Structure 1
């Protein structure tokens, strides 16, 4: 274990990972989303695809624990059950596809998905109809598939909830609880596939501390009346992270 820890602490790019974990946690704390959208584009430049998924899984599970208990009473539990059911069906398909994706393609995909998410939110491109049970189930499936391929399970659910008539606090809580449940599901599937290995798990544990601190700070900052401002800050940070993964300057 000491040798493994020394390997993790000595890996190139660890400082960037720590910084990304802290910023991602802060945004997650005040916006209810953003961990993977901010962290994954940075991590994809340093780690392999399955390593990125594992690190996000461990870091995010521990990082959001301080806020999950408070979010649970406010969440829409019927929708959460449907979202998780859809994800459970489609996540294994996404992970199967990821096994055939080269690291550079994964990095580019992560950056493009994150940018597309910001564009949809800024332009107001979201579902306008009734949020029925079938739509919620299908959204969970889309999130599971996208999460398996790119590590970014949040965009479909976030876009769905942005069209929800629920108050900002309920939307934030439901999104946060879904992503926490998705992480538990992802961990189970990765374990069954035999790709949940020690080094990225330990890296996730190391990064959990700055992520927890970020989540606590972001939650302390959160005020429902400033919802639009929080979103604007989140969009700017996500865009910067996504552009770094695309390496458009090369």
Structure 2
């Protein structure tokens, strides 16, 4: 009988759930396009989070159900959305004034690379055939107080996304607070990568082998040696 290898690591939904768990009550939050958008579906019950989208809405609700779409109500990822009671609509420039003025508490973004110093590269790989996608990311990492990254630990080809120094064009320097991957949750403090939690079935050795920068385990509950 052919045996199927058990998949190691968290699912994308579990990754999003971990991010949502760490967003404080009452926070104003901007979610990047793609995987970060999933976070909105996992905010713990009883916790209020106000979502901001840079195309002019504070108080973004759930994705619109089929047949209820409003063509004038979309998020930055061009998905049809809803607005919660009390939501505010405003000019694109005002939206970026909120970002640049430091009025957004948390931003969740994807990444091509994150360095051990918290540098983020998420808008271009630098390849001439790629289509750059700057969007509002550079403003967000410069103006938002806390930046969380949600991403696969490695690329489809197996290359580490968490590196000592980014080789792709930077979005911002020293901006990432925490990284949520399918293998681990990693906090960046004092330009070091501190592993807070590992997915079931993931050993520290395997995690380090898939990370191109030094990891530290001292903050884990069992106080393993670094």
Larger Rg: 2
TM-score (norm 1): 0.22
Q: TM-score by structure 2 length?
A: 0.23
Highest RCO, 1 vs 2 (Cα 8 Å, sep ≥ 6): 1
Q: Higher strand fraction: Structure 1 or Structure 2?
A: 2
